[in-house]
Structures are given as C-alpha cells and as structure tokens.
Amino acid sequence: MPERGTSPARALLIRAGLAALLLVFSTLLVYFDRDAYIDQTGGDGVDLIDALYYSTVTMSTTGYGDIAPLLPHARIINALVVTPLRVLFLVLLVGTAIEVLATEGRRIFIDARWRKRMRNHVVLVGYGTKGRAAAATMRRNGIAMEKVVVIDGNATALQDANNDGLASIKGDGTRRDILRRAEISRAREIIITLDRDDSAILATLTVRQLNPSAHVVVAVREHENVSLLRQSGADSVVTSSDAVGRLLGLSAVNPSVGTVIEDLLSSGEGLEIAERQVTAEEVGRAPAEVTDVRVLAVVRNQTLRRYYDPSVAQLETGDRLVVVRRSSSDIVTDSLPKERTKPSSDDAGW
C-alpha cells in the first residue's frame, strides 16, 4: 500500500517556499547589478521594486520587455544564471505540484480499490521473525497472499513484506487509524506478533473493539501475560518463551522427542501438522482407521476433541481432522522423475 508520508498541502508549501527563495535570489542578483539594466518605460533606473518585478515576470516566463539587461555581462548572467533559475522555478511550482497531486490521487485510488475487495482477509500486525514465519506457513497452507495485509512501523520489515508479495501499511499496530486503514473491521483472522507484551495487549484490546467477531491470535513473551491477553479478547495465545523452553528441555532429556517436535514445528520437510475436511470415504470410520495420515484431534461443532474422545469414535460429515502428515514439499520431490545415472563400465551389459 502507498505509504502516507508528508501531506500534499505540506509538500506544496515546501516547494512554494523553495520557489520563493529562487525569486529572492534573482531579485537580489538584478538589484545589485541594477546599473546594467534599463527601464524603457519609466526611464528612472531600476530600484528594488523594479528588480522584484523583473524577476517575477522573467521567472514566470511572462516577459513584458519593459525592463531588460543592457550591458553584455548582464545578458551573460541572464543566459547562464537566470534562465536555469527560471527552469528550476517552473519545475518546482508546476512539475512537482502535478507530481504531488498525481501521487496523492494514485494513493487514494489504490486505497479505495484495495478496501473495496478486502473481505474476510488476514491482518498480520508485526513482520519480524514470527510474522514472516506465520506468513510463510499460511502460504504453504493455501492462503492467498493477496488476502494478507501487514502492519509494521519498520521500513525494512515492510520492504520484506512487499518482496514476499504482501500488501503493507506503515504505522503502529496499536493505533485505531492504522488498523482502520487495514480494514480491520472486515478481517477474518488477525495475528499479532509484536516485540513487547504491553503493545500486544493494547493492540488486542483495540482490535477486539474494532472487530468483535474476528479470530485473534497473539504471540506473547511471558506466560504471566497470557491471562491478560485472553481477557483483552485474544482467542489463542502462543507463549514463545515457554515453547522454546519446553523444546530445549525435551531436547536435553529426550533428544528424539525434541527432534520430532522440532520437525513438526518446522515446515517444508519431514512431518507437518495440518487441518483438513473429512472425506466421504472416511465418514463412519474411527480416527485410527484413517489412512495416509495420523489423526490427532477432531473438530466437531467448532469444538476440538482428541482422537481418543469417545464422542468422536466415528467420524461424521462436517468434521475437520487435525492430522500429522508428510510434508507436501517432500511428496512433490519424491514425485519428480529421478535422474538416470550412467552405469559404470563394470556393470553388466555395458
């Protein structure tokens, strides 16, 4: 998304100020060399007002011709100094003014078009390490990247988001005006991955006020802030420090268990956790009878039930399965044709 920097009015005022400085410089240049100019109308010489008048009509290319350089050096100064100043003056007042207005018009057009088509999208507040990993996971699970918008105050993070094909808005994710620019009230999913827990709590409160129905997932550093985030309206809270600590402990006590969990958390190879709809062939079966994957839980009527729960002893139409499966990238790699290697001269038949 176009970044909102200096307002058009401020940009125009800055350029008008620069043009005024050029006009003052030209006026002083003519005034200090006033004896080299002739006033063909009054015939009383050139004073400061005449110098200002001459610079104004010259810079604006009006050129009445009543005041003109008379001596050769004054004409050379006009050719080598005043003429470039005139061009720069016109560029500042006309060219850049058109550019500023065109840029603002383009931003308004893109904003309006983006807001018109943004429904049931994902808002990702914060694009650090956790935010990038969340976006990559959504991409691998089929979430369209044009339905994801990033909010971050860091220009480098926004550039990374743009390079990853995501729309981005520069600003503080705790501010209402920034969240409204991301159409937060129409979002389906909101992921908050800020560096500070207090900022995450404030962002969650603001998000929940603007969108009471969206599913809000928040990353938090300290476990004692989990309850505060849930009271603030977060549906899911992920404690990063506790998760890393548990993984470190498991890797130290049971290295194999730690390796498997790390494999599940990483993506792109090995094992991965996913959620999918139950198929017609699987309806009526037990979770353990599902082939090709391992069922961990069943989501029925928006309630998560473990695979050993008696209420899900038989799968029903409409159930969703939380499964462990082989990474899709590994499946694609195995499906590619293997490169044939040239047998050595010792092989039979060569």
Q: What is the CA radius of gyration of the chain?
A: 34
Residue 348 covered by a domain? no
Helices (H), the chain: 8-32, 48-59, 72-77, 83-90, 96-117, 129-140, 155-163, 176-181, 197-210, 226-232, 240-253, 255-265, 328-335
Are 297 and 312 in the same domain? yes
Residue 64 covered by a domain? yes
* Residues with Cβ within 8 Å of residue 142, at least 6 apart in sequence: none
Q: How far is CA 339 from CA 329, 332, 333, 346, in A?
A: 18, 15, 12, 20
Choosing from 67, 91, 116, the residue where a domain stops is 116
Domain of residue 283 covers 271-335
Contact 27, 51 (CB under 8 A): yes
Choosing from 116, 150, 184, the residue where a domain stops is 116
- Least Cα distance to 166 among 181, 147, 192 occurs for 147
Residue 259 covered by a domain? no
Q: What angle do CA 222, 226, 228 make, to 5 degrees?
A: 115
pLDDT of residue 68: 81
| Start-to-end Cα distance in the chain | 62
Residue 2 covered by a domain? no
Are 188 and 211 in the same domain? yes
pLDDT of residue 268: 62
Are 129 and 210 in the same domain? yes
Are 57 and 149 in the same domain? no
Read off the tokens for 310. 């008696």
CA gap 137, 191 in Å, rounded: 13
CA gap 54, 57 in Å, rounded: 5
Choosing from 88, 116, 144, the residue where a domain stops is 116
pLDDT of residue 332: 45
Are 110 and 125 in the same domain? no
DSSP assignments along 265-328, one per residue: HS-SSSEEEEEEEPPTTTTTS-GGG--SSEEEEEEETTEEEETT-GGGSS--TT-EEEEEEE-H
pLDDT of residue 105: 64
Are 237 and 127 in the same domain? yes
Residue 207 covered by a domain? yes
Are 44 and 57 in the same domain? yes
Residue 292 covered by a domain? yes
CA gap 223, 238 in Å, rounded: 9
Read off the tokens for 193. 């991955």
Are 129 and 148 in the same domain? yes
CATH value at residue 307: 3.30.70.1450
Are 312 and 226 in the same domain? no
- Least Cα distance to 8 among 151, 16, 172 occurs for 16
59-106 tens-digit pLDDT: 877 777 788 888 888 888 888 888 888 888 777 776 666 766 666 666
pLDDT of residue 40: 77
CATH value at residue 207: 3.40.50.720
Residue 265 covered by a domain? no
* Residues with Cβ within 8 Å of residue 305, at least 6 apart in sequence: 297, 298, 299, 311, 312
Q: Which amino acid is at 92?
A: L
Q: In the chain, how many domains are there?
A: 3
Are 138 and 156 in the same domain? yes
pLDDT of residue 338: 47
pLDDT of residue 201: 92
pLDDT of residue 192: 93
Are 126 and 231 in the same domain? yes
CA gap 288, 281 in Å, rounded: 14
* Spans of the chain, pLDDT less than 70: 1-9, 11, 94-97, 99-112, 114, 241-242, 244, 266-269, 328-350
Residue 105 gets the label, from left (phi > 0), alpha (psi -120 to 50) or beta, of alpha
Contact 144, 119 (CB under 8 A): no
pLDDT of residue 167: 85
pLDDT of residue 10: 73
Q: What angle do CA 1, 101, 53 make, to 5 degrees?
A: 150
Measured over the CA atoms of residue 231, residue 232, residue 234 and residue 239, the dihedral's sign is negative
Residue 343 covered by a domain? no
CATH value at residue 80: 1.10.287.70
Contact 218, 236 (CB under 8 A): yes
Are 129 and 214 in the same domain? yes
